Amino acid sequence: MRGKLVLLVGIGIGYVLGARAGRARYDEIKRAVSRLWNDPRVQHQVHNVEEFAKDKAPDVVDFLGGAAKKAVQRKAPAKTSASRSASGTATRSTSTSSKKK
């Protein structure tokens, strides 16, 4: 609850400060960000990151697929023992209910 209150207070403060700065400051910040994003040096680095991601994507897919298979194989035995205990619980509850009658 305290976290929500802090969040609401933060949003309120941000709103008030943003409203005081006005549209002119917003437009100024927007122009500065646009200039930065369109800078050739930034775009060169964006291109490098895109190429890196394209090169590594198949490796990541293979790694995650293998990890998911291993996780499923490790969890499979636990699932069967859990179903056994669940069926044992059902048997116990049935026998308990028959004792009550």
pLDDT (tens digit, 9 = 90+) per residue, 6-46?
898 888 888 877 777 787 887 888 899 899 999 999 999 99
**Cα torsion for 79, 80, 86, 88, to the nearest 10°?**
-160
Query: Average pLDDT for residues 45-49, to the nearest whole number?
Result: 94
> Three-class SS of residue 1?
coil
Amino acid at 29: I
Whole-angstrom Cα distance, residue 5 to residue 40?
A: 43
Confidence check: pLDDT of 101 > 90? no
pLDDT at 46: 94
pTM: predicted TM-score of the whole model, two decimal places = 0.43
CB-based contact 42:36 (threshold 8 Å): yes
* Res 100: pLDDT: 52
Q: What is the pLDDT, as a whole number, of residue 54?
A: 93
